[in-house]
């Protein structure tokens, strides 16, 4: 019995050794930057069978797949840089990283440019990012929850402020419905049903000063018709 058992284990042990040897050989080739990937590229085992796209919210994964121009005739060991360049050329994409998941998967992870505002243009509302760059988004087709800006649209200061607010003060950003110019160096920011007057160089920290004032008014069962931040170290709450 013991001899038969030992004999039956030999083929299984041999197969495991062959697979281990194959894995080591592939690892050696893969870590050889010059000739390794070039040799592996010709093996059918490494043909692309799947593409995973991560990080998209506004961009269609199908559209990115079309830009990649990758099919089952391609190998995961083909150069990555051209694939990243094709995706990066999309106006909605900020950055991209393509990695390999052996044996036959490419993983495409993107960082999108997020809309921070809607700006009136010749063709209607258009979405812009925090640098003031126009994004390839149609607000009539893609729901975009962003304030409408009519204040100096060529000045990116407003968009930088909105980008910072979107990241660091999302609750405050969600309340903001619009920003408009008031004179040459003043803004009116509409938060829910309360306008806030500020200078064009207002910071996010300064806007945060309205929160404790609102809490105090709520505690006293009062409501401001307007809050004014134009004066240094003062927050003026005007009552109806």
pLDDT, residue 140, reads 87
Q: Which structure tokens are listed for 161?
A: 């402020």
In the chain, domain spans = 43-112, 117-238
Q: Which structure tokens are listed for 105?
A: 């998967």
Contacts of 224 (CB under 8 A, 6+ apart): 194, 213, 214, 217, 237, 238, 239
* CATH class of the structural domain 117-238: alpha beta
Measured distance CA(83)–CA(101) in Å, rounded: 15
pLDDT band at 9 (very low <50, low <70, confident <90, very high): low
Tens of pLDDT, residues 187-199: 999 998 899 999 9
pLDDT band at 35 (very low <50, low <70, confident <90, very high): very low
Measured distance CA(91)–CA(69) in Å, rounded: 18
pLDDT, residue 156, reads 84
Identify whether the C-beta of residue 90 lies closer than 8 Å to the C-beta of residue 35.
no
pLDDT, residue 10, reads 57
Cα dihedral angle (175, 160, 178, 203), rounded to 10 degrees?
A: 70
* CATH class of the structural domain 43-112: alpha beta
What percent of the chain is modeled with pLDDT above 90? 66
What pTM, to 2 d.p., does this model score? 0.76
The beta strand positions in the chain, using DSSP E, are: 50-54, 93-101, 105-112, 117-121, 124-128, 148-150, 176-181, 186-191, 194-199, 226-228, 236-238
Tens of pLDDT, residues 55-104: 999 999 999 999 999 988 899 999 999 999 999 999 999 999 999 998 99
pLDDT at residue 38 greater than cutoff 60: yes
pLDDT, residue 45, reads 85
Measured distance CA(218)–CA(73) in Å, rounded: 66
pLDDT, residue 90, reads 95
């Amino acid at each position: 019995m013991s001899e038969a058992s030992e004999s039956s284990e030999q083929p299984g042990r041999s197969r495991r050794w062959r697979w281990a040897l194959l894995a080591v050989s592939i690892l050696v080739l893969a870590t050889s930057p010059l000739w390794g990937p070039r040799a592996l590229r010709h093996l059918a085992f490494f043909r692309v069978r799947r593409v995973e796209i991560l990080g998209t919210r506004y961009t269609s994964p199908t559209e990115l797949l079309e830009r990649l121009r990758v099919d089952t005739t391609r190998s995961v060991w083909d150069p990555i840089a051209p694939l990243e360049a094709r995706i990066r050329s999309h106006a909605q994409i900020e950055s991209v990283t393509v990695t390999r998941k052996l044996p036959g998967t490419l993983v495409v992870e993107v960082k999108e440019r997020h809309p921070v505002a809607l700006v009136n243009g010749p063709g209607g509302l258009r979405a812009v990012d925090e640098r003031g760059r126009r994004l390839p988004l149609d607000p009539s087709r893609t729901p975009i929850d962003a304030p409408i800006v009519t204040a100096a649209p060529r000045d990116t200061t407003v968009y930088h402020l909105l980008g910072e607010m979107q990241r660091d003060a999302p609750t405050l950003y969600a309340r903001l419905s619009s920003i408009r110019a008031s004179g040459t160096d003043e803004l009116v920011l509409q938060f829910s049903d309360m306008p806030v007057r500020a200078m064009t160089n207002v910071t996010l920290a300064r806007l945060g000063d309205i929160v404790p004032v609102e809490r105090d008014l709520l505690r006293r069962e009062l409501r401001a018709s307007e809050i004014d931040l134009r004066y240094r170290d003062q927050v003026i709450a005007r009552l109806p």
